[in-house]
Amino acid sequence: MHGKTQCYLTVILAAMAALFAACTAAEGPSAEESGPIPDEDGYRLWLRYAPPGDSAAQYRDAVRQIVVPGDTETARVISRELGSAIDSMLEFSAPVVREWTKTPAVVVGTPSTSEWIRDLGWDADLAEAGPEGFVIRSIRVENRPVIAVASEGEIGALYGAFHFLRLLQTGRSIQALSVVDRPRVQLRLLNHWDNLDGSIERGYAGRSLWQWDEMPGTLRARYTNYARANASVGVNGTVINNVNADARILTPEYLRKVSALAALWRPYGIRVYLSANFAAPVRLGGLATADPLDPGVIGWWKAKADEIYSLIPDFGGFLVKANSEGQPGPKDYGRTHAEGANMLADALAPHGGIVIWRAFVYDEDVDPDRCKRAYIEFTGLDGRFRPNAVVQVKNGPIDFQPREPFHPLFGGMKRTPVLAELQATQEYLGQARHLVYHGPMWKEFLDSDTFAKGAGSTVGKVLDGSVYPFPVTGIVSVTNPGMDANWCGHHFSQANWYAFGRLAWNHGLSAEQIAEEWVRMTFTNDGPTVAAIRDMMMSSWETFVSYTMPLGLHHLIGGNHYAPMPENDRAPRRDWTAVYYHRAAADGIGVDRTRLGNKAVEQYFPPVRDLFDDIESCPEKFLLWFHRRAWDHRMKSGRTLWEELCEKYCSGAEQAAHLRARWRSLAGRIDPQRHREVADRLEIQAADAARWRDHVLRYFQQYSGMPITPP
Ligand code: BDP
C-alpha cells in the first residue's frame, strides 16, 4: 500500500546520504588519513576522554599541573578523575599535587581545604553557588595563568571538575572562563526498578547492576563507574530497588549490603534511598497489621529507621508505592495516603530523612477515567503532609506514554512539595531497541506553563520552588542501566541517562545543547558528524510519536508495552486495555475530556483548561487526548482527521527509515563496533515503525471505513 511512497523516499534518502557523505568527507579527516577507528563497546559512556583534536595544544599549555588540595575521599576522587582524564585526552601526564607551585594549572578545591582558594576572595560568588554549585574562572596569579574551580562544598568542587572536563571533552575554549553554576533543584535522583533476584522491571539492558550475592564483600568496579557517571551530571541520590518493593531489602542482611554501596558512593555525593514495602511490619516484623496509626506499627518503623541510620548515617529516605497496582498501603486500613506518608516521615525526621510518596495511583472507585484519579486523590490531601514528605508525580496523568500533556498535579499541589518522575527507561518508547532521545519530550514537559500563578508558572518553575516555596525540590528518573556492556542496551539510550542529569541540574538547558554535548563526548568532535547525529536525536522523539501514537493517542499497546496492539480489549483491568483509551468506533475516535465530556480539562488552571477544552485552540498533538472527533473532522492542514492519521503514521515510518539511512552514511566516522550495533537496532526500528503504521491504520480503518492514503 505504500509502495510508491517508499520508492520515492528511497531515492530522496539515497541522494541525501550521498550529498551528506560528500560534505562530511570534504570537512573532516577521512578514516584513511587518521587510521582506522578502534572498536568501542560503549562501557565508558560519555566519560571516554578521547583526545579533543585541534584544541589539545591549548589545553596542554593551560593544564601543566593539577592541584587538588585536601586529603578527603572526594579530593582523591577529583584527583583521580582529572589525572586520568587529562592523561587520556591530552596524551600527557600532568602531575597531580596538593599545593600550587607557580605553574599554569587547574586548581580545584574549597575554602575549607585550601587557604589558596580562601585567598581568592570569592566568598559572595561561592555563597551564591552553594555547596553543590561552583565557580570556575581563568585568573592570573603571580603572573601565571590558573584556572580555579572552587566551591563551598567538596561535592560542588567535584561537579566543577566534571564541568571543566566537559569543556575539554567538547572542544570548548578554556581561555577566559567565567562560570558560576548551581543546581536548580535539590534532589536529582535515579529510581531503579531492580528486583532482589537480579531481574529489572521494565529493564531492557540486561540484569540488575547490583550483585547482591557478592555484597558486601565484593563491590564491582561498575558501581564506581556508575557513581562517576552520575556525579558527572550532578545526580545526587539513587533509589536502588523497585517501587514494587520486596520487603526483604529492609532486613539486616540486605541493609549491610546497601550500606557498603552507600559508603562507596558517598565521596561522589550520591545518597542512597530505598523503596519500602508498606506491609513490611507484617511481612518482616510479624505484626498483625501495617495500619499507620497503630502504635506497634509506628514503633516498628521508628526502630527500622534507627537501625538504617546506624548503618548509613546519610541515608536519604524511603520511596513508597502504596495502594497502586496491588501494592499494600494505608488505604487497606481505611487511612489516607497522607496518614501513611506522615507515619514514615515521622520515623525518618529525627535523622533528616524524607519520605517520597508516589502519586501513581488510579483506584477505579475514584473516577471512571484513570486520567483524573491521582489529581482527585492528592489535591484532596494537599497541605496534610509533613514537611519531610514529598509527592512524586509522573510527568503525565496516565503513564509515561510517548506524549502526554503535563500532569495537572504540577501546579495543582500548592502546599505539598512535588517531585517530577521522568522515565529514561524507554518503556513505552521503543525500549532499548528504538533510538528515541527524550530531551525534547522532557523539555516540552518542563516548559509547559501551568498558569498556577499566572503566566510563566512553568512545570520547571513549580519543580524548582519558584512558583510555591517548596522546602524540598527535585526531579527523578526511572533509570536504564543494567549489566549490558554498554550499560543501557542501545548506545543512544545512554543519552537519556545523560540528559536526565543535565535537565535535573538545570531545566533551562536546551535539549539540543545537551544532545550536542553528549554526542561530542560519546562519539566524536567532528563538526559535521556531530551535527548529523544531533539532528537525528532531535527529530527522533517526534518521529516515534508519529509512527506509534500521534495526535494525542495513547496506550495502543498490550502487556509488553512495545508492539502495536490497538485491538487489545482484554486485560485484568479495563484501564489496562487499549480500547479504553482510543474508543474507536464508526462515529469517531478519542476521549471527550472537555467540560461537556468527563471534565478532565477542569483539573488545569485557566487558560490552560480553556486551551485544551476548545477544539479551535487545543494543540493537535493532544487532540484525541482531550477530544472525541468524527473521522472526517477537518484538521488545520485541511486534511480530514483520518487523512491526518494516515499522514502521521506514514511520515513517521518514513522518518524511521531516514534515521537508518542517515546513520549508515556515517560509517567510517564512528568506530565500527558501535556503528554496527546502532545500525542493527535502526533496522529493527525501521521495520517496527512500518509494522506500527500498517497495523494501526488497518485496525482503525475498520471503523473509519476510509481508504489508507499515502501523504
Ligand atoms: C508502569 C509499569 C509498571 C510499574 C508502574 C509504576 O508498567 O511495571 O510498576 O508503572 O510506575 O509504567 O509503578
CATH code, domain with 10: 3.90.1330.10
CA of 390 to the centre of ligand 1 (A): 19
Residues 87 and 222 in one domain: no
Does residue 427 line the site of ligand 1, with CB under 6 A? yes
Q: Check residue 640 and report its DSSP letter.
A: B
Pseudo-torsion of CA 514, 517, 521, 525, nearest 10°? 140
The answer to whether position 529 is within a domain reads no
Residues 6+ apart with CB under 8 A from 494: 42, 45, 46, 486, 487, 488, 518, 522
Domain limit, last residue, from 497, 513, 529: 513
Residues 76 and 207 in one domain: no
Residues 214 and 264 in one domain: yes
List, for residues 265-313, the tens digit of each pLDDT value: 999 999 999 999 999 999 999 999 999 999 999 999 999 999 999 999 9
Domain limit, last residue, from 513, 536, 554: 513
Q: What is the pLDDT of residue 533?
A: 98
Q: Would you place residue 35 in the very low, low, confident or very high pLDDT band (cuts 50, 70, 90)? A: confident
Region 66-92 average pLDDT: 96
Does residue 360 line the site of ligand 1, with CB under 6 A? yes
Residues 341 and 421 in one domain: yes
Q: What is the pLDDT of residue 468?
A: 98
Residues 6+ apart with CB under 8 A from 539: 655, 659
Residues 6+ apart with CB under 8 A from 110: 70, 117, 150, 151, 152, 153, 154, 156, 157
Atom of ligand 1 nearest to the CA of 394: 11
List, for residues 169-178, the tens digit of each pLDDT value: 999 999 999 9
Strand stretches in 263-417, DSSP E: 271-275, 317-320, 354-358, 389-394
For residue 12, pLDDT beyond 60: no
Q: Would you place residue 20 in the very low, low, confident or very high pLDDT band (cuts 50, 70, 90)? A: very low
Residues 369 and 390 in one domain: yes
CA of 2 to the centre of ligand 1 (A): 36
Q: What is the pLDDT of residue 711?
A: 52
Q: What is the pLDDT of residue 33?
A: 47
Region 603-630 average pLDDT: 98
Does residue 400 line the site of ligand 1, with CB under 6 A? yes
List, for residues 45-63, the tens digit of each pLDDT value: 999 999 988 888 899 999 9
The answer to whether position 41 is within a domain reads no
Residues 174 and 213 in one domain: no
List, for residues 129-174, the tens digit of each pLDDT value: 999 999 999 999 999 999 999 999 999 999 999 999 999 999 999 9
Residue type, 674: R
Residues 208 and 154 in one domain: no
Q: What is the pLDDT of residue 710?
A: 76
Residue with CA at minimum distance from ligand 1 atom 12: 399
Interatomic CA distance for residues 166 and 55, integer angstroms? 13
- Identify the domain containing residue 450 by its residue range: 187-513
For residue 458, pLDDT beyond 60: yes
Mean pLDDT of the chain: 94
List, for residues 647-663, the tens digit of each pLDDT value: 999 999 999 999 999 99
The answer to whether position 537 is within a domain reads no
For residue 541, pLDDT beyond 70: yes
Residues 94 and 137 in one domain: yes
Task: Choose which residue among 195, 199, 200, 201 to substitute to test ligand 1 binding: the one with the highest number of ligand atoms within 8 A of its C-beta.
Answer: 201
Residues 7 and 69 in one domain: no
Q: What is the pLDDT of residue 326?
A: 97
Per the structure, the count of domains in the chain is: 3
Residues 383 and 266 in one domain: yes
Residues 420 and 488 in one domain: yes
For residue 27, pLDDT beyond 50: no
Phi, psi of 28 (to 5 degrees): -110, 170
Q: Are 229 and 515 in contact (CB under 8 A)?
A: no
Residues constituting the chain: 711
CA of 169 to the centre of ligand 1 (A): 36
Annotated active-site positions, please? Answer: 325, 399, 427
User: Helix count (H) and strand count (E) of the chain?
Assistant: 24, 14
Residues 6+ apart with CB under 8 A from 610: 617
Q: Would you place residue 25 in the very low, low, confident or very high pLDDT band (cuts 50, 70, 90)? A: very low
The answer to whether position 601 is within a domain reads no
Q: Tell me the β-bridge partners of 423.
A: 478
Residue with CA at minimum distance from ligand 1 atom 7: 202
Q: What is the pLDDT of residue 13?
A: 41
For the record, the C-alpha cell of 241 comes out as 530497588
Region 344-350 average pLDDT: 98
Q: How many CA atoms lie within 13 A of 429 on its CB side?
A: 28
